[in-house]
């Protein structure tokens, strides 16, 4: 049997492909991510400070801020704007809690056509699911370490 994918010719080809890949502008991307991520965090701080001016404690105001950001992101996702922001901002829009909200709402919208149960609900966590799973796993591991060491 011909197994060209393991041939020296294929290996040479793979190296050539790596050389010909367009270069990614890492510096520019980092800067854009900083601006977008920073703006999202700034909006959060504004909301939090505003809520605290009504006498809410920092902790309670923080919870309400998260809820507000999750709502805003879900709204922008529904309006088809969040993915445009992310196209520019990359990780700056993916890492904050707004990115998490986007990752839940986007598949829910996409699979709505397959029904409320097997589509929307079943596929809703297709992207956020792994984040939740490994978030809980790492929280447990570090919690255990902390309880043993400190």
Partner 1 sequence: MNKTFTLKNVYVEETASVVGPTEGAGPLGDLYDVVIPDEIYGESSWEKAERKMLIESIGLCMNKAGYEPADFDMILAGDLSGQLISANFAARDLPIPFAGIYGACSTFTLTVGMGALLIEGGFMDRVIAGASSHHETAEKTFRFPTELGVQRKATATWTMSGAAAVILGRSGPVRVSEVTFGRVVDYGIKDANNLGAAMAPAAFDTLERHLKNLGKRPEDYDLIATGDLGSVGQIMLKHLMGDSSMGSGNLTDCGLLVYDTRQDTHAGASGCGASACVFSSHFFPLLKKGHIRRLLLLATGALFGLTTAQQKESIPSTSHAICFERVEES
Footprint on this chain of partner 1 (rule: CB under 8 A)? 4-6, 9-11, 13-14, 16-17, 20-22, 24, 29, 77-78, 80, 82-83, 85-87, 89-90, 93-94, 99, 102-103, 105-107, 109-111, 113, 127
- Least CB distance from residue 25 to partner 1, whole Å? 10
The structure tokens 């080809």 sit at 13
Closer CB to partner 1, 51 or 69, in the complex: 69
7/13 Cα distance (integer angstroms): 10
15/36 Cα distance (integer angstroms): 35
- Least CB distance from residue 43 to partner 1, whole Å? 16
**The dihedral sign for the CA sequence 24, 95, 84, 130:** positive
- Least CB distance from residue 138 to partner 1, whole Å? 23
Closer CB to partner 1, 61 or 85, in the complex: 85
Two structure tokens written together for 74: 């879900």
- Least CB distance from residue 149 to partner 1, whole Å? 37
Closer CB to partner 1, 55 or 80, in the complex: 80
Buried b (16+ CB within 10 A) or exposed e, 131-144: eeeeeeeeeeeeee
DSSP 8: H
Closer CB to partner 1, 66 or 77, in the complex: 77
């Amino acid at each position: 049997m011909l197994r060209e994918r393991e041939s020296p010719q294929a290996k040479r080809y793979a190296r050539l492909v790596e050389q010909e890949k367009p270069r990614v502008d890492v510096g520019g991307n980092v800067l854009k991510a900083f601006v977008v991520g920073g703006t999202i965090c700034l909006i959060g701080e504004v909301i939090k400070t505003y809520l605290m001016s009504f006498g809410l404690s920092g902790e309670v105001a923080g919870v309400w801020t998260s809820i507000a950001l999750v709502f805003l992101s879900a709204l922008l996702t529904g309006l088809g704007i969040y993915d445009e922001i992310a196209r520019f901002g990359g990780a700056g829009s993916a890492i904050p809690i707004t990115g998490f909200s986007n990752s839940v709402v986007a598949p829910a919208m996409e699979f709505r056509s397959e029904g409320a149960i097997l589509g929307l609900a079943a596929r809703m966590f297709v992207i956020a699911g792994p984040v939740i799973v490994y978030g809980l796993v790492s929280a447990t591991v570090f919690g255990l370490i902390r309880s043993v060491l400190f």
